[in-house]
Amino acid sequence: MFAPVIAYPIIDPVLVSVGPIAIRWYALAYIFGLVGGWLYARRLVSQAQLWGGVKRPSVASLDDLLVYCAFGVILGGRIGYVLFYNLEHFMAYPADIIAVWNGGMSFHGGLAGAAFAIWLYARRNAVGVLSVTDLCSTVVPIGLLFGRIANFIKPELWGRATDVPWAMVFPDAGPIARHPSQLYEAGLEGLVLLVILYVLAMRGGFRSPGFLTGVFGVGYGLARIFCEFFREPDPQLGFLFGNATMGMLLSVPLVLAGLWLIVRARPQAQVGEAR
């Protein structure tokens, strides 16, 4: 196997430390993702022409949506990781469940938590659930981009052994050169999906409730399945069967649900105003 030509850029996972208080890149990734998504969402809902006759959330109510989604993502992400990826460990050491600063968040769990939060928000604000999920789906790739970069900085969730010229030797991953799979995911799940959803939103995607949500489900699911072929499976789980991983398994229903939403999406003709 050839030696890697790109050195891993060792970055201190703690950005700033003042006494016992440490500000970590990992936490900042969630903050940047949520705040960046909130700002982008405000811009999208302020453009009435993008929504046509679809009733959309008001700009003012997006403050509540940010809080709802923040709790949903963090709680759902952690619970999903506990249940799907390391249940045996957390049953033996339940106090570790709250140690989120050590890493360990499940995207699929966070998605489930966010979906529940969106349902509560939509019900409270009398807005269609699918219209809200369309909005959130369009901005979520911002958080995915920052989150995967944070995985790279930590570092965690590194790739499988390889001899590609851009392979890296990650700290605590042994002397083997590996794929920088975190960057693959940042590119596909984050940047590429963000651009695709932006283009579709600008072309009237919000006018067919559920369409952008479906595109996100298919796009993320396929990108995650593809990247899992380059990512080292979680050591406590390994491969489930053949080369299949837990990430692949959890992404399949996401792709199927996305396809169903795309097929059923129809332009909404009635005129509605933002609240």
Number of structural domains (the chain) is 1
What's the N-to-C CA distance of the chain in angstroms?
A: 60
Residue 126 forms part of a structural domain: yes
Contacts of 236 (CB under 8 A, 6+ apart): 85, 86, 88, 89
Q: Which amino acid is at 183?
A: L
What backbone torsions phi and psi does residue 16 show, to the nearest 5 degrees? -140, 140
pLDDT band at 103 (very low <50, low <70, confident <90, very high): low
Q: What is the mean pLDDT of residues 207-218?
A: 97
Helix axes 246-264, 211-228, angle to 10 degrees: 160
The Cα 210–Cα 45 span in angstroms is: 16
Closest CA to 38 of 64, 20, 71, 75: 64
The Cα 163–Cα 115 span in angstroms is: 40
- Is it the case that residue 18 has pLDDT exceeding 80? no
User: pTM (2 decimals)?
Assistant: 0.84
Which domain range does residue 138 map to? Answer: 17-264
Residue 217 forms part of a structural domain: yes
pLDDT tens figures, 109-156:
888 898 999 999 999 999 999 999 999 999 999 999 998 998 898 888
- Is it the case that residue 14 has pLDDT exceeding 80? no
Q: What is the mean pLDDT of residues 54-80?
A: 90
pLDDT tens figures, 157-169:
899 999 999 999 9
Residue 272 forms part of a structural domain: no
- Joined tokens for residue 115: 């979906």
Residue with tokens 């970590």: 24
Q: Point out which residues pair with 241 in neighbouring strands.
A: 244
Residue 5 forms part of a structural domain: no
The pLDDT > 90 percentage for the chain reads: 56
Weakest mean pLDDT among 118-122, 198-202, 244-248: 244-248
- Is it the case that residue 252 has pLDDT exceeding 70? yes
pLDDT at site 269: 60
Residue 8 forms part of a structural domain: no
- The whole-angstrom distance between residue 154's C-alpha and the CA centroid of its chain comes to 17
Say if residue 206 is exposed, middle or buried (CB neighbours under 10 Å; 0-12, 13-18, 19+): buried
Residue 7 forms part of a structural domain: no
Residue 103 forms part of a structural domain: yes
- Joined tokens for residue 163: 């001899």
Q: How many CB atoms neighbour CB 89 within 10 A?
A: 14
What backbone torsions phi and psi does residue 261 show, to the nearest 5 degrees? -65, -40
Q: Point out which residues pair with 178 in neighbouring strands.
A: 161, 168
Residue 4 forms part of a structural domain: no
229-261 per-residue burial string, b: 16 or more CB within 10 A, e: under 16: ebbbbbeeeeeeeeeebbbbebbeebbeebeeb
- Joined tokens for residue 150: 């944070």
Task: Name which residue leads in pLDDT, 268 or 266.
Answer: 266
